[in-house]
Structure formats: C-alpha cells, structure tokens
Amino acid sequence: MKYVKILSIVIILSLLMGCSGPGSTTGTPVPQVVSPNPTNNQELPTPAVFVTNPPDPQSGLRVFLEDWKMNDYSAMYAALTQENRNNISLEQFTARYQDSLDALTLKDLVYQIGADQFLADSVQTNFHVEYQTNSFGNFSRDMTATLKLENGKWRVSWDDGLIMPELKDGSVLKVDYNIPARGNIFDRKGKPLSQQTDAIALGVIPSQIYPETEGTLLGLLSTLTGKSTTNIMAQYDDKRGVDWYVPIGEAKLEDVNRFYTALIDLGGVVMSQYNSRFYNQEGIAPQTIGYVSPVPKEQLSQFLRNGYSPAGRFGQAGIEKWGEQYLSGKTGGTLYLIDKDGKVNGTLGQVDAKPASSITLTIDQDLQIKAQKAIAGFRGSIVVIERNSGRVLAIVSSPTYNPNLFDPNNANSAYALGELLGDPETPLLNRAAQGQYPLGSVFKVITFSAALESGTYTPKTPFYCGYDFTELPDRVLHDWTYDHFQDELIKTGEGKTRPSGDLDLTGALMRSCNPYFWHIGLDLYNQGRVSAIADMARGFGLGSPTGIGQIDEAGGTIINPPALLDAVNQAIGQGDVLVTPLQVANFMAAIGNGGTLYRPQIVEKITDANGVDTTAFKPESRGVLPMRPETLAALRAAMLSVIRNKRGTAYQRFTNLTIPVYGKTGTAETNTGIPHAWFAGYTDANNAGLPDIAVAVIAENAGEGSVIAAPIFKRIVEIYFYGQARTPYSWETSIGVTRTPTVPVTDTPSP
C-alpha cells in the first residue's frame, strides 16, 4: 500500500503540472520518478512515468530580446515578473531603456542566447549582445538573465543591468555633444542666402517712438531688414499709443552694430540678440530654401539615435531638408557613464565632429529679390530657367514668408510665428513647384503642336474666328472677344471689340482664338485621335513631376478626354488640365532651345569643409519635344507674332523692349469667377554674357494674362538683361511700389 500511495502522488503531481499549459517539445526534461523496491524484495511492474514539458525559458528570453530590437517597450514590460511590475511603472521602464539607447545612438541590436542554469525556483540564461550604434561604433556585452516560471510562463526578473551591465547600480549614460556649425547656403555668385550667425530681433514699442525721429528710425529699420518704410510703418501704425512690443524683423549682428549708436538714441526700438540659422532679407526664395527648426518632441528619440544633439536643428523644408546630410555635418561627442551620485565613472565611446559642407544654388540672389518684389501684392509665382541648361535662376512663390521666425530663440517668433502658420494665404506653399493650376490659353502652344503633328493642319489652315463656337450639339461657347464686347457694353453702353475674323493657325495662336482651338480639340477627338493633345502635353512634360528632385513638387493632371466637351476644354487648357509654373517654364525653355527638355536643377555645387567641390551641376536631358523640326519652327514663329504682330495679344506690353521675346498669354477660368493671369515664354537675345532664359508667370485670380502677367514677365526680362526695371506697371505709382490692381472683368456676365 505504501508504494501505491507513492505512485498515486506521482501521478497526481504529473497531472497537475501537465495542466499548467502546453509545453514546448524542446522544453526542460523533468527527472523520472521511479518507485523504490519493496522491502520484501518482491519485483513490482514498472509504473507509468509522466513527463511534463513546461515552456522553454530560452523562448521567453528570445521574445523579450526581439521586442527590445523592435523598441516595443510595452511588450517587454509585459514579460517582466509581477514583482518587477509592482516596483517599476511602464513609463519608468520605457524611459530607462529609451534614455540609455538614445545616448548610445543605437541603430541595431544583435544577440545570441547561451546556456541555461536551473536553480530551485528559476533559470539563469546567459546571452551575448552586440550594440550597433550610429555614432560610437559597435561594442558588446555578456549578460545573464534570470527567468521565473509564473502561471506557466517564463518571465524576466529584470534589473538595470539587462540594459547594460554598467547600469546595474543605477548609473546612467550621458553624452557631451560637439555640434558642428551648419553649412551655409549660397547663391550662384557666392552670396549667403542662409548662414549660422549672431542675429538681432528688431521690434518697436509704438508709444515710445519719438515723432521727430520716426523717419530716421524707419530708414534704419528698412536698411537692416530690407523692408520698405511703408511696410514697416504698416506693422505698427494702428497701434500708436500702445506700450506693447511689435515685431519688425531680423538683421545680422554685424549689420546692426554699424548703426547701433544711432539706434539706441532713437525712441521705441527694441533689440534682442540671439544665435541662429539666419536668412537674409527675411527670406530669399524661402519656400525653396526652406527653414530649420528644433527637433519635435515626438521625434526626439529618432533624431538622438541618428546622432543628433537634443539642442540641434534640422532642415524642415526645401533645400534645408534635401541637403540635411551635407549641411548638418556630423555631431561629435563623448559617451560617459555617470554613477548614481552624478560623478563620471568612465568613458564608453567618443566620436569627433565632422564639419558640414556648403551648398551653392543656381539662384541669382539679386534677380530673386527683384522678382519677389515684381509680384508682390499678388498670390502667384515666377519661375526663371536658364534656357539651354535647366538651371533655375529664380523661383518665386508669393506671398513670401520669414523663415527666421521658426527659431524659438528669436524673440519675434513668439509674436509672429502663430500668425504665419495660420495665414489663409498659405505663404508656406511653394506655388512654383507645388501649386497646380489650369493653364488656360498658354496651353494652346501644345494644341497648336498636336494639330500640326496630326497631318490634318498646316500653319496656313484657315478658320473664321467669330464670337461664338457652335460645333457642339448641346451648347454654344463664346470667344474672349465676345466677353470683352459684353464688358464694354455694360460699362460704356458701346461694345467695340470685334471678332478676330479670318485667321490661319499661326494667326489663331497670335490672337488666342478660342473657337479655332475648340475646333481642333473636337476634330481630333472625332477622328479617333482622342489622346493626341494629351499625348503632346505629356511629351511637353506635363502630367508628371519635372524631376527637379531637390524640392518637393506636384505632377499636375493630364488625362485623355472621356467625352467631346472634355476634349474641347482640354484644347484651351481648361477642364481637367492642371500644371505647375515650374513645368511651364521648363517646356518653354525646350521650345526656345530647339526641343530639349532639361531637368530643372537648383543646386550648382556642394563643397566640403576643405573647399573641395564634391558635386557639381551638369545639364541633364529628360528627352525632346515630340515634334518635327518644321512644327517647332512654326510654333516659334507663331509665339513671336504674339509679341510682334500689332494684333498679337501681348503686342502692347512689349513695344519698347529690345530683347527678342517669344511667348503666349493665358487667362485661365477658375471657380471663383476671377481668372488666373498667365504669361510664359523665352528670350532669344543670343547675348554671350547672359544666357537666354525661359520665364513663367502666374498671378492667381488677378484677371487677364495680357494685362497682369505679361507686364510682370517683361519686368523680369528687363531686370535680367538691363539690371533693373525700366517700365512701370499700369497699377504702379512708380517702379517697385506695387499694389494689387483693380481686376478687370473678363468672365462672361450673366444675362
């Protein structure tokens, strides 16, 4: 009976252990229990042996280490013993790992599990860890994990030594950072566009301004910030008498020092010094150059792992973002072990800082600044491309913004950044590369080309261009001459604008005759050449990004027209047609250079800290315009007639310009009722000292292309070839003093 009882106990224990959960086939074996021999030496049958297989402790450790590799601290925490979880919160546990691994700049973790040692109530498992870091190289540690079986699962009995043995006593890892100066961004002539320097935030307290010296104050602030005195006064004029701070702008310390004595004697001015990534003129091509800012809190760990300092800055947009790998250099530092009393207890690693490279852009600073002023007061864009290479000489998005405001050390940031971010005019949008617009009549150069390439039309194919287009079965469309006639009738009681009359295809482009191009779109569609115009547009680079690469860009929209009306609308650049100003300047350059579509580029070179150019600009062809040489010649002749023929839509805007210009006006209908004004074209001066350029101009919801955009285009040509503007706008009181003009009515009025 004694032996039966022993056997029964063994069976019961085996069953209970078996109920603890499914075991691993590679689990730890349980010693066999064998009944002792009876005292009377009588042999009994060997009892059945029950062997249980609790989970393999190595599998529990392996899951824990895999979660560590994935930075899944919640899963790691769930694998701890209950005693651990009672003594440390998830937040504390996460911070302990994250702070340590951020200091290490951990990139990856490689581990290898060794042997187990079974104790009375636990298992100790050896494992080897290799820490692969971004800054301090690779190093390894041998460690031992204690695992305890709780509720059928092996759980990790944790302490800080499982992060790294040196941390077992409560020590921490700290990095003493050495941040190299951020690399400068220069214009093509070596003038700094952004640089690391000491700067001054300038502001005024209106109630403290002395009336007798206000003019002097405005003049000095204008000199330092690049703003006009009128604009500066407008910033505080409605706050006269108040005693709070009004931000005005920023200037380099060295520039302020030249006028410091005079400034401190003037009432109302406030100056606050800071060190910053400084952007000259409060932003030269800011949507393209971009800005830097502190690392957001939610991304801090990621940046620390990549070797950044918590005090570092990184590029958030434009060239600053694209060129981060060059401009930031490599942060250096020393990794220290700090004991629980705050004393240095050793050095675990050290890395030298690597100086940053500088970036030189193709942008011409003087042209860029003057182009920004040329379109001030409008929403819109100007793109200037070197015709025969693809260099971007100026890229304007209006309204502009001040990238200096993104530095929280700038005293003006607290007052003005929120207003900038909430501006309904969306100044941060790069309209040149990301703005997508209907192209309107500028698109007719594409329809013109598709017509000639179809073989159905020649430059001399005749057409009568009247007020109305009646070829659609269900509607009548009106030419722009009809719209003008109606507008004149409403304003003066007498309509004077007449239909364009008998034209050939060249004359249709010169007069921008809508009915002729509607007819082409409808005719090609009915011939079964449904995609002829869309294919030509795609061949001009529309419907996909230009490949500029160094800034973000949109691709626009070009589709094959699904119906008659869509084909008719597409033929004049309306309907589903969407383009960017960068695309338009790019294909205009191709028309001017003989048909080569170059990839637009904005980086001239990258220069390392030793002055060696590691990257240099090279023209890159993306292909050629899909047309025969005779088609291209006919197109160029028609675009010249837009400027030179007295009936051309842009003739009056270019009468006193001696630089040869080829171009096309455009007035693109919008949902607001006020059209976008377009003008795009290129020069053909063949000036040995100044390469010819292609230019695209759009002024959003501003009116007619010939009235608004063509004069802006002309100003850019004057600035580029003559060094300064020569012709005032019709809406200017003098050159450079711009205001939003009264928008002419160009849409068809309701009956």
Task: Output the CA torsion sign for 438, 442, 446, 452.
Answer: positive
Q: How many Å separate Cα 5 from the centre of its chain? A: 80
**Residue written as token pair 């809190």:** 297
1: confidence class by pLDDT, cuts 50, 70, 90: very low
Q: Which pLDDT belongs to residue 241?
A: 82
**Global confidence as pTM:** 0.86
CA distances from 159 to 1, 517, 686 (A): 50, 78, 76
Contact 381, 435 (CB under 8 A): yes
What values do phi and psi take at 288, rounded to 5? -95, -45
Retrieve residue 188's tokens: 């093509």
Q: How many CB atoms lie within 10 A of CB 247?
A: 24
pLDDT tier at 403, thresholds 50, 70, 90: very high
- Distance of alpha carbon 614 from alpha carbon 603, whole angstroms: 12
| Residue 210 C-alpha from the chain's centroid | 44
**Reduced to 3 DSSP states, what percent helix, strand and coil does the chain have, rounded to the nearest 5?**
35, 25, 40
pLDDT band at 738; cut points 50, 70, 90: low
pLDDT of residue 53: 56
CATH class of 289-360: alpha beta
What lies within 8 Å, CB to CB, of 600 at 6+ separation is: 385, 390, 392, 546, 547, 548, 582, 585, 586
State how far the Cα of 460 lies from the Cα of 483, in Å rounded to an integer. Answer: 27
Give the span between the Cα atoms of 512 and 641, in whole angstroms. Answer: 11
Phi first, then psi: give them for residue 296, nearest 5 degrees.
Answer: -60, 145
Q: How far apart are the first and last CA of the chain?
A: 115
The full set of domain ranges for the chain reads 1-54, 57-170, 188-283, 289-360, 440-722
**What's the pLDDT tens digit per position in 613-640?**
999 999 999 999 999 999 999 999 999 9
Of 53-57, 185-189, 509-513, least confident by mean pLDDT is: 53-57
Confidence check: pLDDT of 50 > 90: no
Q: What is the pLDDT of residues 463-500, one digit of tens each?
A: 999 999 999 999 999 999 999 999 888 888 888 899 99
E-strand stretches of 541-692 = 596-598, 603-607, 613-616, 621-624, 661-668, 676-683
* Second CATH level (architecture) for the domain 188-283: Alpha-Beta Complex (3.90)
Query: Which tokens is 479 given?
Result: 């030419």
Q: Is the pLDDT reported for residue 747 higher than 60?
A: no
d(CA 672, CA 438): 13
Buried b (16+ CB within 10 A) or exposed e, 216-240: ebbebbbebbbbebeebbebbeeee
Catalytic residue ranges: 441
pLDDT range class, residue 682, cuts 50, 70, 90: very high
Three-state secondary structure call for residue 358: strand
Q: Are 52 and 15 in contact (CB under 8 A)?
A: no
Looking at residue 688, what is its pLDDT?
87
**Among 653, 744, 698, CA closest to 443:** 698
- HSE, side-chain direction, 13 A CA sphere, residue 502: 2
Cβ contact 193:285 at 8 Å: yes
Q: What is the mean pLDDT of residues 677-683?
A: 98
| Helix, coil or strand: residue 314 | strand
Torsion of CA 401, 404, 409, 414, to 10 degrees: -10
CB atoms within 10 A of CB 517: 29
Residues 6+ apart with CB under 8 A from 212: none
For the cut 80, the answer to whether the pLDDT of residue 388 exceeds it is yes
d(CA 33, CA 51) in angstroms, rounded, equals 9
pLDDT of 27: 40
Q: How many CB atoms lie within 10 A of CB 520?
A: 28
Q: What pLDDT, on the 0 to 100 scale, is given for residue 741? A: 43
Q: What is the percent of the chain with per-residue pLDDT over 90, rounded to a whole number?
A: 81
Evaluate whether 221 touches 172 at the Cβ level (below 8 Å): no
The helix/strand/coil state of 112 is: strand
Average pLDDT of span 370-380: 95
- Find out whether 115 and 126 touch, Cβ atoms under 8 Å: yes
Is-contact 123 154, C-beta < 8 A? yes
142 pLDDT higher than 70 = yes
Amino acid at 519: H
Q: What percent of the chain has pLDDT over 70?
A: 91
Residue 648 CB: number of other CB atoms within 10 A?
A: 25
Tokens of 62: 């392996």
Structure tokens of 410?
């700038």
Average pLDDT rounded to a whole number, residues 557-571? 97
Lowest average pLDDT, out of 69-83, 95-109, 234-248, 323-337, goes to 234-248
- The answer to whether 307 and 105 have CB atoms below 8 angstroms apart is yes
pLDDT tens-digit series, residues 428-451: 999 999 999 999 999 999 999 999
CATH domain 440-722 topology: Beta-lactamase (3.40.710)
Same fold, 289-360 and 440-722: no
Alpha helices, H only, 81-121: 82-87, 90-104
Over 60: is that where the pLDDT of 264 sits? yes
727: number of Cβ within 10 Å: 16
**pLDDT per residue over 125-137, tens digit each?**
999 999 999 999 9
Confidence of residue 121 (pLDDT cuts 50, 70, 90): confident
Lowest pLDDT segment from 119-123, 193-197, 656-660: 119-123
* Whether pLDDT at 745 is above 50: no
d(CA 327, CA 304): 17
- pLDDT tens column, 521-553: 999 999 999 999 999 999 999 999 999 999 999
Q: What is the mean pLDDT of residues 205-232?
A: 92
Predicted pLDDT of residue 54: 59
Cα 31 to Cα 14, 34, 36, 52, 116: the distances in Å are 11, 10, 15, 10, 17
639: left (phi over 0), alpha (psi -120 to 50) or beta: alpha
Higher pLDDT: 24 or 266? It is: 266
Tokens (6 digits) for 64: 């824990």
Beta-sheet strands, E only, within 286-331: 292-294, 313-315
Cβ within 8 Å of residue 95, ≥6 positions away: none
Query: CA 483, CA 467: separation in Å to the nearest integer?
Result: 9
Count, residues in the chain: 751
Residues 296-324 have a mean pLDDT of 93
Q: How confident is the model at residue 2 (pLDDT cuts 50, 70, 90)?
A: very low
Q: Which residue has the tokens 């040489």?
A: 629
Given pLDDT bands bounded at 50, 70 and 90, which one contains residue 242? confident
For position 145, what pLDDT does the model report? 95
Does the pLDDT at position 587 exceed 80? yes
Residue 122 CA to residue 116 CA, distance in Å, equals 10
**What's the mean pLDDT when you consider all of the chain?**
90
407-409-413 Cα angle (round to 5): 60
Per-residue model confidence (pLDDT) at position 383: 98
Q: What are the structure tokens assigned to 744, written together?
A: 């002419």
The answer to whether 427 and 375 have CB atoms below 8 angstroms apart is: no
CA distance 496 to 602: 47
| Per-residue tokens: 560 | 């094959």
Q: Which of 369-372's residues contact partners 24+ apart within 8 Å by CB, and which partners?
A: 369/226, 369/281, 369/284, 370/719, 370/724, 370/725, 371/396, 371/716, 371/719, 372/284, 372/285, 372/396, 372/398, 372/400
| Three-state secondary-structure class, residue 533 | helix
CATH of domain 57-170: 3.10.450.100
